[in-house]
A = this chain, B = another copy of it.
Amino acid sequence: MAKSKEDVVQEFRVQSIQEAAIRVISRKGMAAATMQEIAAEAGVAKGTIYLYFRDREELVEKTFETAIGELHKRLDAALDREGTFEERLRGLMTAQFTFFNENREFFRLYHSLRMPEGSATQQRRQKRTCQPQFRARVDRLAVVLKQAMDAGEVRVFDPQRLALFVIEGSIALVLERLSEDAPPPESEDIEMVVSTLLSGIATPKSKRSSH
């Protein structure tokens, strides 16, 4: 059975509203984004939103899930390529930098959900539904690290923790880039992260005389 006409309309509305929500939240921030403004941005009345989403909370949650799904697709694509550990790491970083560069607006939403605000119940719920999304993001890198550790290509640490460190550190770089007028080429930042990670920042005098 193909999509009925109603389904198409429904899908269109949901999508319009979600896109509007991302735009408004990006512009104003999570706290200052009102249902009224989201509705206006989507070109519908406030009440209409409530035909498609139970309440503001559900709208934000669903919107975030949709948006982060796109990010995950990109990261997975980067990770599915074969190659050495270094190549895959570099690919992952590139995908991340590129995605956030193309979706600058999404960034604020991303961070607003990272550190939830609002009532205790809201916070708990937000945590329950959004935390796994962030975790999944870290996990993707952790898996790659684990493989490399098992293969002996990389020193053994807790892969989760190392992944966390790298992801968040590089997010800070993305954030910095967004606020700069003329950021250096992406490749420069990626290079710094990858090569620091691989061989450290100490000058390699240890190659000759290992202390």
Contacts and interface: CB of A to CB of B under 8 A. Distances in A.
Interface stretch (A43-51, A98-106, A191-199): A191-199
Contacts of A30: 117
B203 A200 contact: no
A155 B203 contact: yes
Interface of A: 28-32, 108, 111-112, 115-120, 123, 145, 152-155, 157-158, 161-162, 164-173, 176, 184, 189, 192-193, 196-203, 206-207, 210
Given A165-B192, A165-B193, A193-B165, A112 B115 contact: yes
B155 A201 contact: yes
Nearest to A108: B115
A169 B176 contact: no
Contact of A116 (B29, B118, B155, B197): B29
Given A115-B111, A168-B172, A172-B168, A206 B207 contact: yes
A164 B115 CA distance: 19
A165 B172 contact: yes
Contacts of A166: 169
A123 B192 contact: no
Count this chain's copies in the assembly. Answer: 2
Contacts of A171: 168
B172 A164 contact: yes
A43 to B, nearest CB: 23
B196 A199 contact: no
A104 to B, nearest CB: 14
B31 A192 contact: no
Nearest to A145: B201
B201 A197 contact: yes
27 contacts: A28-B120, A29-B115, A30-B117, A32-B117, A32-B119, A115-B115, A154-B202, A155-B201, A155-B203, A157-B192, A157-B196, A157-B201, A158-B192, A161-B173, A161-B192, A162-B196, A164-B169, A164-B176, A165-B169, A165-B192, A165-B193, A165-B196, A169-B169, A197-B200, A198-B201, A198-B202, A200-B200
